[in-house]
Amino acid sequence: MDSLFLEHQFDGVIHLAAESHVDRSIEDPMAFVKTNVIGTVNLLNAAKKQWANATEGKRFYHVSTDEVYGSLGIEGLFTETTPYDPNSPYSASKASSDHFVRAYGETYDLPFVLTNCSNNYGPYHFPEKLIPLFINNIINNKPLPVYGDGNYTRDWLFVKDHAVAIDLVFHQGKNHETYNIGGFNEWKNIDLVKKLCQIMDTKLGREIGESAKLITYVKDRPGHDLRYAIDATKINTELGWKPSVTFEQGLEITVDWYLNNQDWLSSVTSGDYQKYYEKQYS
């Protein structure tokens, strides 16, 4: 990291790299500590060293998650001042990395911005996550494994809208500030799955309701948070950001991409992925 910063004289870092799948964090917490905590501190140290004598025009942008806030009840929204209350090894590792970023800002005067986003979806999403996993399984007529009763609620954000928000915050956000990025778009998992089944049946020329027959309820995962929902008022009022597509529009775009890129889908769901899938959902 030091040699890269020295060679290229970076004036900005947008740090998105992370282990991000809760199920995998339950299986191997240390991988999440190494990437999400130690990896973040490595980047912070390189930036601190390179920018030690001149922080003007520099910026360290740390991309985080709404999961650091823990679980909501049936009402309320996460704001930028919601206390942290992580419940999984994944969210704990991201909470730790957030704290380190803020600590470097306070201790070393490192210029930073931080964002906490809701669940992303869209093209190129690796099919261990819910939407691409279920698209792939519907294509192949495999069971759709729904945790628990399916009533866990998430706020969904189209990936391109997230990219626009990142660009805005990086260039126009205020140093040492946090911005929550959400889609104002809450869905219970089971309702999302049923909607996805309808879209897939239409796209694949199947009778409506055919894919929904694949829904299979499986044992819940430990520490499963009931509900996430973000209040994105701050980024809307200060920077003028808002989602550009509805969830239904974004889901259609996403489904079309996967149907048109089934070679890519097949290539990333072979080998070790199959071993992980069988272990996780058998």
Which residues are part of the catalytic machinery?
66-67, 90
CA angle 123/150/204 to nearest 5° reads: 45
Q: What is the rounded CA–CA span in Å between residue 61 and residue 39? A: 14
The SS3 call for residue 189 is helix
Residue environment code for 222-261, b if the CB has 16+ CB neighbours within 10 A, otherwise e:
eeebebbbbbbebbbeebebebebebeebbebbbebbeee
Q: What is the rounded CA–CA span in Å between residue 41 and residue 262? A: 38
Q: What is the rounded CA–CA span in Å between residue 40 and residue 17? A: 9
Q: What is the rounded CA–CA span in Å between residue 25 and residue 202? A: 35
Answer positive or negative: Cα dihedral of 11, 16, 17, 18.
Answer: positive
Answer positive or negative: Cα dihedral of 115, 120, 123, 126.
Answer: positive
Of 239, 238, 229, 236, which is closest to residue 66 (Cα–Cα)? 229
**Inter-residue contact 55 to 109 (CB < 8 Å):** yes
Q: What is the rounded CA–CA span in Å between residue 227 and residue 91? A: 14
Q: What is the rounded CA–CA span in Å between residue 72 and residue 227? A: 5
